[in-house]
Chains A and B, each alone.
Chain A
């Protein structure tokens, strides 16, 4: 005769799931707030190099992106690095009009704050990058940012 087992067995009460929606909603709001929709479909491989001395771009609405890298579809586009602007491949000469179009979209006071972010694959050769930079100089888009991944500082 055990002291604890008092004949009658108690039904274990089921865990209340009433607060489950609340928890899920909390997660949902977190992701809704932090989410950034991808602006473009990448057509080029993009593995940016690592660096330590980096800064964050605060205002994303003032940034125009230039992607450079090897196309995913190498059968169709070859393996040499290509420039992608918005959703399509472009030539070096298209960079100027692209930046100018961005300029016309924003408020006039914000034009000096515009940044061009170059997202370039680390295996790209500098030739094409230099060409794009020369093109940016021609249209006076002088504030640029080389997109990089963060590397932890080794002391």
Chain B
């Protein structure tokens, strides 16, 4: 029996930093910080042949946005730049002065608001097969922005907070009231192929 017990040798931790660095570099290289952001949309269900024709919509209730193969916009028969679309759409959706060529309003019972004149607006969007995807997204974005600006100002007027805030705190009854007044109705017509591919 040895009289002296040998002291336990400690593991050398000097290379730990190197190993950790190696792993760190691996994760640094493979990492992608981008998360998925995007415009959420819902496609219309497929057309049913047996379905009866929907009732016609009055011209004044439809906001027609056409985009051609040269990335030009025709809005309600008027050539517009993309920067002007938002204001034009807002004016159409809200119709603040009850103009006869903008959408009609129908008093509807809405929670918190009582009888509120809700406009019967529909936005119709049609693009060509040659339209660039960038323009398409810009149009979608401007229209969505028009709705969200109107919703925000209505919510601020009524509840003192923006619509974005209501969404953040998930205040469902108030959100649905605002949505009832400004429902997002963007309809995409079946595409045309005029300008070629």
Which positions in A face B, CB cutoff 8 Å? Answer: 17, 20-21, 24-25, 27-28, 31-32, 34-38, 49, 51-57, 60, 63, 115, 117, 120-127, 129-130, 133, 136-138, 140-150
Contacts and interface: CB of A to CB of B under 8 A. Distances in A.
B43 A133 contact: yes
B185 to A, nearest CB: 16
Contacts of B127: 126, 130
A53 B24 contact: no
Contacts of A25: 20
5 contacts: A28-B27, A126-B128, A126-B132, A143-B42, A150-B37
A149 B37 contact: yes
Given A129-B133, A143-B42, A148-B37, A53 B27 contact: no
Interface centre among B40, B46, B130 (most CB of A within 10 A): B40
Nearest to B21: A24
Given A24-B17, A150-B37, A32 B137 contact: no
Contact of B38 (A21, A122, A133, A145): A145
Contacts of A20: 17
Interface string B117-140: 000000000011111111011101
Nearest to B36: A57
B44 interface: yes
Interface string B18-48: 0011011001101111011111111111100
Given A56-B35, A127-B193, A143-B40, A28 B20 contact: yes
A122 B135 CA distance: 8
B145 interface: yes
A28 B24 CA distance: 5
Given A21-B20, A35-B30, A54-B38, A137 B44 contact: yes
Contact of B39 (A63, A136, A140, A145): A145
B31 A34 contact: yes
A140 B46 contact: yes
A137 B132 contact: no
A36 B46 contact: no
